[in-house]
Amino acid sequence: MNSFQEDTPSSPAGFFTSKIEEMVGWARKFSIFQYPFVTACCGMEYMSVACSHYDIDRFGAGLPRFSPRQSDVLMVVGTISHKMAPVLKKIYDQMTEPKWVVAFGVCTCTGGFYDNYATVMGIDTILPVDVYIPGCPPRPENVLDGLMKLQEKIQKQKQFT
């Protein structure tokens, strides 16, 4: 029991803790610092989401970071080869906690139409994926929908361990 609960015995148990959890969840939901790992044609659709017509900035994710140590969302956009997989894993390992991964495009999610030895058949074989955005390439509306699903996940998860 923390000192706040001992001082106020009439308050419900965990009141302060639950309100702080909600506040931190709300703040993290609207301050997404993404690291774009763009490798293929889906990159054009990724860039179009930042334009004024779709405006990803209104979701708090408008300014990409190009350092994994300043990012909390890894946006994997495009085809990943087995040669590139260790680099992607290293970037993921360098990111700060808490961190999330978004698989952007069918090639990232499942390997797409590539059926060969060189292509990773879904990045979930090397990284834990939080949100999948399917499509070849996914429409900007799908990207925004995936971002909103990620925001829900961020807000609902336990903020402190």
Tens digit of each residue's pLDDT (9 = 90 or more) over 77-133:
989 999 999 999 999 999 988 899 999 999 999 988 888 899 999 999 999 999 999
3-state secondary structure of 91: helix
DSSP-derived secondary structure for 37-66: EE-STHHHHHHHHTSTTT-GGGGT--S--S
What is the C-alpha separation between 151 and 128, in angstroms, rounded? 17
CB 125 within 8 Å of CB 111 = no
Read off the pLDDT of residues 40-86 as tens digits, 9 standing for 90 and up.
888 888 888 878 788 777 777 777 888 888 888 999 998 999 999 99
- Please state the pTM of the whole predicted model: 0.79
pLDDT at 28 over 70: yes
User: Is the confidence at residue 5, as pLDDT, over 50?
Assistant: no
Residue spans of the domains in the chain: they are 33-155
Q: What CATH number labels 33-155?
A: 3.40.50.12280
